[in-house]
Amino acid sequence: MNPEPNRPADELEKQLHYPLGDTLPPPGAAVVVAPGVKWLRMALPFALNHINLWLLRDEIDGRPGWSVVDCCISSESAKAQWEQVFAHELEGLPILRVIVTHMHPDHIGLAHWLCERWQVRLWISAPDYCLARIGTQGPTGFGGDAAATFFAAHGLNDPDSVEKIRGRANYFPTLVPSVPRQYRRLLDGDRLTIGARQWRCISGYGHAPEHISLYCQETGVLIGGDMMLPRISTNVSVYEQEPESNPLQQFLDSIDKFRSLAADTLTLPAHGKPFTGLYQRIEQLHEHHRDRLAEVMQACSSRPCSAADMLPVLFKRALDLHQTTFAMGESIAHLHLLWFEGRLQRSLGADGVYRFAHAPA
């Protein structure tokens, strides 16, 4: 996920409205943002240094309590914050279910712990559940040799980077040590009765296998997860498991689904502050990617380029290894959209690297 280059974040933020101003939930505490909705914020040990989590007042089978939306990574500090939440924010009521928008570690990392702690069910889309289960299997899951080979085929083939990526074979299970063995499947269009209100599931693609956002028409609230962030652009990447995918087109098509929601929708993002101005944000994201695609086209018109060649074009700052792997995935995603459209053509060089060039008219 990246600040949007060439357009200062402050300039973009001024086009949105933040109803709570600079208010942030203290560690282990909550802020009420809408009827029956509490906002939690927990720290992450990354450049993206926090995640927003949500408590929804609920009742299941006549039993009052709360539904959790998203969980944070598995860490002792996150567990300690959750214990504070249990003690001070649940109003003496239990957790009744755990809803996860998608399978990325900061969202699903503690789902197993929460479900075991409260003896409740995980609710998530089937593709994200299955991929998370695969990811917990260590070297047979994500990263390692497969990721290193994939990125090398797109130009990130210097020995140091290759070796470091190979060494990240156990990265996912360190943040997501386990996933509940059972789950309740969420599908696009499902209507969940959470407390006294209906929340509609809206599927999204490009960022995760099948991301689920939740929209309550009665209160005008969208829990957007990572599909709709106010300050940064959502990471949209091609991965080794699906090496010829077109996730950027999927993402842009997905966010257009939010255009059917009310203009004054209060959007609750996974990162950043709750905001209104949903339509404006959709346009900002489309503009951002149009600009990046134009830069890619210009670069590839001069000479055939690999995804690694595109890193300084798309990212105007120094990147550490963690950021570089995300950036490579995004670089390939931008190249693939243009390739799928027929505006670029792909070739495999004698060195085993894919390069993209302007397609002849």
pTM: 0.95
pLDDT given for residue 9 in this prediction = 60
What pLDDT digit, counting tens, does each position of 200-222 carry? Answer: 999 999 999 999 999 999 999 99
CATH classification of the domain holding 33: 3.60.15.10
Residue 2 has pLDDT above 60, yes or no: no
Neighbours of 323 (CB within 10 A): 18
Tell me whether residue 320 is in a domain: no
Residue 170 has pLDDT above 50, yes or no: yes
Tell me whether residue 341 is in a domain: no
Q: What are phi and psi of 131, to 5 degrees?
A: -70, -35
What pLDDT digit, counting tens, does each position of 290-321 carry? Answer: 999 999 999 999 999 999 999 999 998 888 88
Number of domains in the chain: 1
d(CA 125, CA 102): 7
pLDDT given for residue 315 in this prediction = 94
Tell me whether residue 345 is in a domain: no
What confidence category does residue 5 fall into, taking pLDDT thresholds of 50, 70 and 90? very low
Query: What are the strands, taking DSSP E only, across 217-306?
Result: 221-225, 232-233, 266-269
Tell me whether residue 319 is in a domain: no
Chain Cα centroid distance, residue 332: 17
What pLDDT digit, counting tens, does each position of 236-271 carry? Answer: 999 999 999 999 999 999 999 999 999 999 999 999
Percent of the chain with pLDDT over 90: 87
Residues making up the chain, counted from first to last: 361
Please name which of 144, 295, 134, 324 lies closest in space to residue 235, comparing C-alpha atoms: 324
Residue 137 has pLDDT above 90, yes or no: no
d(CA 26, CA 40): 8
Q: With contact defined as beta carbons under 8 Å apart, do 4 and 281 qualify?
A: no
The parent domain of residue 109 ranges over 2-302
Tell me whether residue 187 is in a domain: yes
Tell me whether residue 348 is in a domain: no
Arithmetic mean of pLDDT, 29-49: 96
pLDDT given for residue 158 in this prediction = 94
Tell me whether residue 40 is in a domain: yes
pLDDT given for residue 316 in this prediction = 87
